[in-house]
Structure 1
Amino acid sequence: MKKIFFSFCILLSALFNVQAQVQSPAEFLPTYGKQITYYHQVENYFNQLTEKSTLIKQQKYGVTAEQRDLNVFFISTPENLENLEQIRNNNLAAIGLSKNGNQMIGDKLIVWLSFNVHGNEFAGTESAMTVAYELVNPKNAETKKWLENTIVILDPCINPDGYSRYGNWLREISGKKTHPGLSDREHMEQWPGGRFNHYLFDLNRDWAWQTQMESQQRVALYNQWMPQVHTDVHEQGYDSPYFFPPSAEPIHEYIEKYQKDFHNVLGTNISKKFDAQNWLYNTSERFDLFYPSYGDTYPAYNGAVGMTIEQGGIGAGRAVTMSNGNIVTIQDRIDHHATTVLTVVESAASQADVLLKGFRGFMNNSRKTVKGSYKMYVMKNNPKLIQLAELLKKNNIEYSYADANVKASGYNYSTKKEKGFTIETNDLIVKVDQQKAVFTQVLFEPNQKLNDSLSYDITAWALPLAYGVEGYALKNSVGLKTKESIEMIEKVAPQKVYAFHIPWNNRISARVLSVLHQNNIKVRSSMGKAVFGDVSIEPGGLLVTKGDNPKVVDFEKTVSDLIKTKTDYNYITSGFSSNAKDVGGENFNLLKAPKVLLLSGKGVSSTEFGAAWYYMQETIEYPVSVVEVNNFNRISFYDYNTLILADGEYEFTEDQQKKLTEWVRNGGKVIAMNGALSIFEGKEGYALNPYASEEDKLNAEKEKDSLALDERFLDYQETERRDISRSIPGAIIENVLNKTHPLSFGLGEKYFSLKTDDRTYSLLKDALNVAYIPKDYKSYGFIGNGIKKKLSNTVSFAVDNKGKGTVIYMVDNPLFRGFWENGNLLFSNALFLVN
């Protein structure tokens, strides 16, 4: 017995010695708190913690586009870490998402901490090391008490590629001394900056849509754990006081009292710590809880208490002088963040019972007590449902397909009216009666209640309109037979095919066309409906004929292999049409393979460039040459036939403008979006003009002058809210389509555009107004009163034919954040079908 006791003492002593060897970030990293830490050094520090402490465990959950590891670290007591899988299953079982629960382990609170979603907000990752250290530090007895009933999941860097881009730049331009003066180059980050990921997407806007691989891998893990608390650690402009909860309005009506109550608890607890240090802070002023794809709202709509915390630091470099004369350093930023995050863990641990009860009530009661107006959503069968189903699957939202025909009545998203319709076999069905009831309603509810117009982001995202499908919201759940999936019948091409038909109806169509072009397969596109026996080819439908491709070996097998991902492809055995649209006639245009140039660099919006780049690289996997704007004069334009101009402020010289115009007139195609339209606006030879006539222009100028005179007498403190009345932060707007033009093919009866700024152009003269906002348009989301009337009879997408070439004007960006699925198809039309 004495030997056993002696051995136990030796083991305990050895364990204490190992724990005692855990080094703080300052002990491990020679420049910690003085210079940004390289990402590999961050990984080395966490490796040290996991090797020397029994309180922390690593899990690699993915990689970035640039092949950097994505990691989370579980921090708790050794006993809790040994039982992680059972604790996870217990948590899911308590909300009906697992059948493997075992309450013998007991209830544990799960707190998830996310750092550095924006790469240049680097004090997040720096502070993550201090937070992790204090949680495992054997000398910190207080944190050990918190971990008895709490599992901390710590993600030290959500965006390693952006963090590394910024960090490498800052290290390269740093001298031995800090330079707090604002004119020093370390306060002037170069394009595109480190905020975004590899493809320059803002990962903090991508939680729900999961267009990016980092988001997909992280949210998959998140949904395997479903924490009760999620903290999203950010930085803001360096001159801003610290922000912590409570959040600002608008707060979505589905966010419950227990979530708001804990925000107030945090506000009280964190403010005490800040008051003791005389640190400045604010709450409830700027960061709201509405748009569903943030790192605070996505968790909130999934039952957690989600929150954003913000330290002043963007543009600060290593040290910067604020307007009050104080210098904020990296160490200051670390201290503020670490204090706040540790207080979140402390507060959560002390309120574990309240948080667990609130979380479980949120998830379990929501399916019984529907928060919104509707209990069921029906999406009519459409090839675009493939992408919508993928989105639902990523978010663990249950769905099925109708396996029978049933009469029903529901709110039609397109007409905004109640309408009788028939639910038919293969329509997609989403019922609110599921564990993810609240998040389902947030994504599908037609009209989100906005209790304050001063929102931080877009205010509408109705999925049927984003995906371009006919959708209905039903107040009552209709009983009908359903199935889990749609059966796909594998096609076998006959021995002799005259032509393959690829319907033009979703992003897969565009990707298949991309593959065909890259394999030098000639393709035709239908300008109108053509009928060949039992095969109907709609406008935009692609034809690959044997006659156009005589050199293709084993035509049938080669082509069917290239297009097999488009499961609804078909074939015809004769070019003779029953409605006088023969394959060799004028109805079928031979498509020209695009040779694409995309401009980047200073003046170009990083995120909008990124959206175009991502579309080319990942959505359709088509080659694109990216050239910096400052190398414009070195471009051999006649090596290309297509130029993409993302949103931005382009400052072309007169000679450059002439060069561009000459190239267009000789057959070039320009796709210009948002701010890039200023290159052509009011310029000789182009149709783009904000006003239909001189009279309209004069009236607009008079109205502007009159408003300026009236504002002389208005209250200064309401300036921001008055500006909101003239803005449109992000709303869905109905557009009428010219369905005979290739730019509109495959989009449906109408196109609903996501409009994110107040830029407007009257219907153009001497150009084709392919998509325009009608007089009595329908809309979703907030539109300021000052702009609402001005949108009537304005163009959203137009085509200006110049000589042999074309300029496609896109007033709105159809590729915005990569999630507007019908926009992906519209852009594909511009790229491939508009010659």
Structure 2
Amino acid sequence: MKNIFTFIIAISSFYFSYSQNTDLTYYLPEGTEYDPKIPAPESVIGHEVGQWHISHDRLTRYMYALAEASDRVEIREYAQTHEARPLLVLTITSPENHSRLDEIKSSHVRLTDPAVSDNLNIKNMPAVVYMGYSIHGNESSGSNAALLVAYHLAAAQGTEIEKTLNETVILLDPSFNPDGLQRFSGWVNSRKSHNIITDPNNMEQNEMWPGGRTNHYWFDLNRDWLPAQHPESRGRIALFHEWKPNVLTDHHEMGTNSTFFFQPGIPSRNNPLTPAKTYELTNRMGEYHARALDKIGSLYYTKESFDDYYYGKGSTYPDINGAVGILFEQASSRSHAQESEHGILYFPFTIKNQFTTSLSTLRAVNDMREDFLNHQRTFYKEASAEARKDQSKAYVFGSKDKFRNHHLAELISRHQINIYHGSEPMSINNIRYGADELYFIPLEQSQYRLIEAMFETRIEFQDSLFYDISTWTLPLAFNVDYKKIDSKAFDQKLLGRPFDSNKKPTGEVVGGKSAYAYAFEWYGYYTPKMLNDLLVNGYKVKVANEPFHSPDGKKFERGSILIPVQIQNGSRDRIHADLTMLARENGVDIYALHTGLDYTGVSLGSPNFNNIKKPQVMMLVGEGVSPYDAGEVWHLFDQRYKMDISLVPIDVFNRSDINKYTTIIMVSGTYKEINDTAREKLKQWVQNGGTIVASETALTYLNSINLGKFDFVKTNDNDSNEPAKYADIRQTRGAQEIGGAIFETNVDITHPLFYGYYKKEMPVFRGNKIFLEKSKNQFANPMVYTDSPLLSGYISLPNLNSLKGSSAAGISNYGRGQVIGFTDNLNFRAFWYGTNKIFMNAIFFGPLISNASGR
């Protein structure tokens, strides 16, 4: 007992020592001399590292000052954030290497080309290390440590640093997420007391919603490496492939009561597409980190948390690209200091650990340089050999939606994958597609393994727990038809022109100028944008609830949009010019109709056409609401469809008049902050004709206040009632979570929620255990999970049984209004293009849905 008490006192004293103001001697290696001509951080940013949280503007200022002063450092802006902040990379190496940097880069990249890599001599080839910090803006010890790493590499003197710089090219990215870092530093610095407050309940330690973790649109950028839907990620991926680094470090933070984690992660959760050599190198690097942390007395652990499964994370994306990704997780002070189980955790201490492991990374790479270079060469040679042996020779995908096809091809091509347009028509899954609707990806290319990772479906796993999602099959995410083509069916003649992401799909007005009407189909991804543009500009627009035909026999399915000419305010010439521009910009053909008569379908004056009103949309945001889900909707409206959406905090909603809104969006959340008065106001608003579009746990909230008739399936998480070991609690309960998998639903394409879809099968992404009972009203189940719903990913047997045959969407009538509910997130991480249209149909067509289809 005495020994334990002594240990606690020692640890507390150890942490307490960091309460004092620190200078560079606290962080930097003992015995290292530094060039006095190189500016230390304090001389530029105005304070010692760790005294305040670095803001992005000061971080940028220091990096430019360093590049100006040092011949070891070059700097460039490789992208800008949504808020126009620069993303910077410092290329740091010896002056001699800088003089031949293009040659070094070219030679290094050729190491990934199996056709020439054997001819390269790696004996004197520098390794390339990409060091990235604080992709979560409120995990800021990383970016603060970047100040020290950059200074050390620019100013340190001696044989060790000279050897490192001669044998390594370092790409230092001081802030993966500038917008989040700026938001967080503003919060924590503006709430810092002169006397450092360590209370976890203190305001400084508790950010307000949505916090600084995410980017401008509240996305987790550490889940965007593979989808690359944001400018930060697109720039970073381009930089990655420009250099093809051997190692990428990803510096994070975790809970305050933790210590320090470095990879390897949990071995049973490694992605099977990653070669064993990657983990062997990771293990060997871990020994360097351990020695460095031992030296400064820091507690750490490894192999007990996190994983290397989802290739959309910074520490895992390199693994499928011939490199080694390393995750570092530091216990977070979340402020300048905070009480923890180990004593008071001071911000400078968190920075020191990140700095220390940055240097241990460089030591490991320096010592293992040839091993990393050989691994990179071997990775691509083996991938090339696997591709040649594969009896399948290409993937082909297609759909009737030009832009959905284009955006999937665009996503794939960002990762240095060759993709081609089709050269002739082909059937996929019994649907005939034209050459312009098809895209081919040959498998015999260097990124063979990454292609497989993008397209594979997997339902069997070594482990049933996942740190992130268990699948991400891209053609299912985009809801395009796809298949593999074997060697017998494949022919190079199937490949048309190479895909060029700059050549976007276009549309046209077909049939000349009309004095009667125009119409366009609802298949295109950007049709909601077109419709909104028309409504904003005063056009009177109708939607078809039954098929109709043009005089030449073209069939327009339900959901097609009709623009009668005579009821518009503009001239015929103006209308034609507007529609020509919209067709071209949105890749949607608009057809001129010169008569309203249709004896095959409905004529254009039929009551089966409904007028569409411009929606006035608000979304509830704030405490208790998922910022990720809310950000996805905000991004969809703002970036994709250029539509107005009011983001209304719940406390403002509680005291506001909401009668001007036609639609209220409620994404997953608890909504406990809605007060009693506002709850009644919301009910009255729906009763008067308003539409709520709700998803996931918002449904359970609405059900609890009797604003919606949603009955949920009762679940049983236990596979067995047999006694189980206490040690297995975490594993057993964790296995019942649905971290993210893909399931098949059947949809009613005659229902307004599914206008623009032409197949009854719909893949959806699910990450929750909300199972909705089917309605007894036979018209009220427009989207139902099939009896064998699992397409890819992990789900436990009890959850699978609960999901089978359950409803994924429902409409609940309330007075003259309704609640449209979805059990799943239809806008997941901005790359789930395939279900975005369902969500937008709820916005535009929700008020038109018949009460007879309510639950």
Is the TM value for this pair above 0.5? Answer: yes
CA gap of 1:18–1:47, structure 2 versus 1, over 3 A, is farther
- Cα root mean square deviation, aligned: 2.7
Q: Does 2:41 align with 1:25?
A: yes
* Residue-by-residue CA offset, 1:766-808 (whole Å, 9 max, x unaligned): 5722211133334310002231111112111112233321211
Distance 2:84 2:398 in 1: 39
Aligned to 2:614: 593
**1:442 equivalent in structure 2:** 453
Task: State the match for 2:9 in structure 1.
Answer: none
Distance in 1 (CA, whole Å) between partners of 2:703 and 2:409 is: 40
Structure 2: how far apart are the matches of 1:552 and 1:299? 57
Residue 253 of structure 1 is aligned with which of 272, 276, 295? 272
One-letter code aligned to 2:581: D
Quick one: which of 554, 559, 562 aligns to 2:579?
559
| Distance across 2 between alignment mates of 1:34 and 1:183 | 21
Judged with a 3 Å threshold, the aligned counterparts in structure 2 of structure 1 residues 213 and 489 are, in CA distance, closer, same or farther, namely: closer
Q: Distance in 1 between matches of 2:390 and 2:262?
A: 29
Matched, 1:483 2:496: yes
- CA contact under 8 A between 2:743 and 2:763: conserved in structure 1? yes
Paired amino acid for 1:612:
V
Secondary structure of 1:270's counterpart equals helix
Could you list the per-position Cα deviations for residues 716-761 of structure 1 after superposition, in whole angstroms to 9, with x for gaps in the alignment? 1111111133221111011111221111122332111100011111
Which of 330, 345, 348 pairs up with 1:311?
330
Pairs within 5 Å for 1:196-235: 196-235=214-253
Whole-angstrom distance in 2 between the partners of 1:666 and 1:99: 71
Counterpart of 2:406? 386
Deviation readout 1:188-229 (Å, 9 max, x if unpaired): 111110000011000000111111121112212222221111
- For the residues of structure 2 that align with 1:510 and 1:814, how far apart are their CA atoms? 15
Conservation of the 8 A alpha-carbon contact between 1:453 and 1:782 = yes
CA contact (8 A) 1:236 1:310 kept: yes
SS at match of 1:768: coil
What is the percentage of aligned positions where both structures have the same residue? 27
Q: Report how far residue 710 of structure 1 moved.
A: 4.4
Q: Using the alignment, how far apart are the partners of 1:98 and 1:187 within structure 2?
A: 54
**What residue identity is the alignment partner of 1:261?**
E
Deviations 1:328-353 (A, max 9, x none): 21111111111111111111122111
Task: Classify 1:52/1:104 alpha carbon distance in 2 versus 1 (closer, same or farther; 3 Å).
Answer: farther
Tell me which amino acid in the other structure corresponds to 1:777. P
> Is 2:813 the partner of 1:796?
no
Match status 1:366 vs 2:383: yes
Deviation (angstroms), 1:475: 4.8
| Aligned equivalents of 2:815, 2:384: Cα separation in 1 | 60
CA distance in 2, matches of 1:770, 1:194: 39
Residue range with higher mean Cα deviation, 93-102 or 380-389: 93-102
For 1:18 and 1:308, how far apart are their aligned partners in 2? 29
2:419 corresponds to:
399
1:543 aligns to 2:543 (yes or no):
no
In structure 2, relative to structure 1, the CA distance for the partners of 1:458 and 1:814 (3 Å cut) is same
2:661 partner amino acid? Y
Query: Which deviates more, 741-750 or 146-155?
Result: 741-750
- The equivalent of 1:815 in structure 2 is 827
Q: 2:473 corresponds to which residue?
A: 462
Distance 1:193 1:402, change over 3 A: same
Residues 1:531 and 2:549 are matched in the alignment: yes
What letter is aligned with 2:650? V
What pairs up with 1:11-22 in 2 under 5 angstroms? 19-22=35-38
Task: Give the number of aligned pairs.
Answer: 795
- Does structure 2 retain, via aligned residues, the 8 Å contact 1:18–1:52? no
For residues 653-683 of structure 1, the C-alpha deviation after alignment (integer angstroms, 9 at most, x for no partner) is 3432221121112111111111111232254
Q: Distance in 1 between matches of 2:548 and 2:431?
A: 28
Residues 676-695 of structure 1: pairs in structure 2 closer than 5 A: 676-684=698-706, 686-691=708-713
Assess if the C-alpha contact under 8 Å between 2:507 and 2:585 holds in 1: no
Which residue in 2 is equivalent to 1:616?
637
1:497 positional shift: 4.6
Match of 2:731 in 1: 721
TM alignment of 1:596-607, pairs within 5 A: 596-607=617-628
User: How far apart in 2 are the matches of 1:674 and 1:406?
Assistant: 38
| Partner Cα separation in structure 1 for residue 392 and residue 739 of structure 2 | 26
Q: 1: CA distance between counterparts of 2:570 and 2:115? A: 56
Counterpart position of 1:576: 597
Amino acid at match of 2:774: L
Does 2:105 match 1:88?
Answer: yes
- Distance 1:603-1:832 versus aligned 2 partners, 3 A rule: same
Q: Deviations 1:502-528 (Å, cap 9, x if unpaired)?
A: 221232112212222221222222223
| Shift in alpha-carbon separation, 1:689–1:614, aligned structure 2, 3 A | same
- Cα pair 2:625 2:668 within 8 Å, conserved: yes
Query: How does 1:734-753 map onto structure 2 within 5 Å?
Result: 734-747=744-757, 748-753=759-764
Number of the residue aligned with 1:6: none
- 1:423 Cα deviation from its structure 2 partner: 8.1
Report how far residue 233 of structure 1 moved: 0.8
Deviation, structure 1 residue 373 = 8.0
In 1: Cα distance, 2:431 partner to 2:755 partner: 25
Deviation at 1:145, TM superposition (A): 0.7
1:640 aligns with 2:661: yes
Asked if structure 2 preserves the Cα contact closer than 8 Å seen for 1:70 and 1:158, the reply is yes
- The amino acid that maps onto 1:425 is A
Say whether 1:70 aligns with 2:87. Answer: yes
Q: What is the CA–CA distance in structure 1 between the aligned matches of 2:730 and 2:744, rounded to whole Å?
A: 28
| Alignment match of 1:276 (pick from 279, 292, 295) | 295
Structure 1 residues 826 and 372: CA distance shift in structure 2, 3 A: farther
Q: Secondary structure at the match of 1:146?
A: helix
Q: Distance in 2 between matches of 1:113 and 1:131?
A: 10
Aligned counterpart, 2:3? none
Q: Which residue of 2 aligns with 1:130?
A: 148
Give the structure-1-normalised TM-score.
0.90
Q: Which amino acid aligns with 2:296?
A: Q
Answer with 460-469 or 531-540: which moved more: 531-540
What SS class does the counterpart of residue 124 from structure 1 fall into? helix
Moved more, 678-687 or 260-269: 678-687
2:28 alignment counterpart: none
Distance 2:610 2:195 in 1: 64
What's the counterpart of residue 538 of structure 2? 520
Residues 552, 520 of structure 1: CA spacing in aligned structure 2 closer, same or farther, 3 A cutoff? farther
Contact 1:109 1:356 in 2 (8 A): yes
SS in 1 for 2:562: strand
In 2, distance between residues paired with 1:102 and 1:640? 67
Q: Go from structure 1 to structure 2 and tell me whether the alpha carbon gap of 1:485 and 1:268 turns closer, same or farther (over 3 Å shift).
A: closer
Unaligned runs of 5+ in 2: 1-32, 500-504, 848-855
| Contact 1:597–1:644 under 8 Å retained in 2 | yes
Cα distance change of structure 1 residues 25 and 254 upon mapping to structure 2, 3 Å threshold: same
TM-score with structure 2 setting the length = 0.88
2:169 is matched with: 151
Task: State the 1:100 CA deviation.
Answer: 13
Contact 1:90–1:100 under 8 Å retained in 2: no
State the distance in 2 between where 1:433 and 1:501 align.
43
| Secondary structure in 2 matching 1:579 | coil
Q: Could you tell which deviates more after superposition, 72-81 or 130-139?
A: 130-139
How far 1:86 moved relative to its partner?
2.2
Q: Confirm or deny that 1:430 pairs with 2:451.
A: no
Give yes or no for contact 1:378–1:423 (8 Å, CA) kept in 2.
no
Give secondary structure in 2 for the equivalent of 1:148.
helix
Q: Is the 8 A contact 1:206 1:294 kept in 2?
A: yes
Q: Distance in 2 between matches of 1:186 and 1:491?
A: 58
Where does residue 3 of structure 1 map in the other structure?
Answer: none
Contact map agreement 2:509 2:583 (CA 8 A) in 1: no
Structure 1 residue 99: Cα displacement: 9.9
Q: Distance in 1 between matches of 2:384 and 2:719?
A: 51
194 and 823 in structure 1: CA distance in 2 versus 1, 3 angstrom threshold = same
Q: Which residue of 2 aligns with 1:45?
A: 62
Match of 2:318 among 299, 304, 324: 299
Match of 1:657 in 2: 679
Identify the residue that residue 364 of structure 2 maps to in structure 1: 347
Does the CA contact (< 8 Å) of 1:725 and 1:787 recur in 2? no
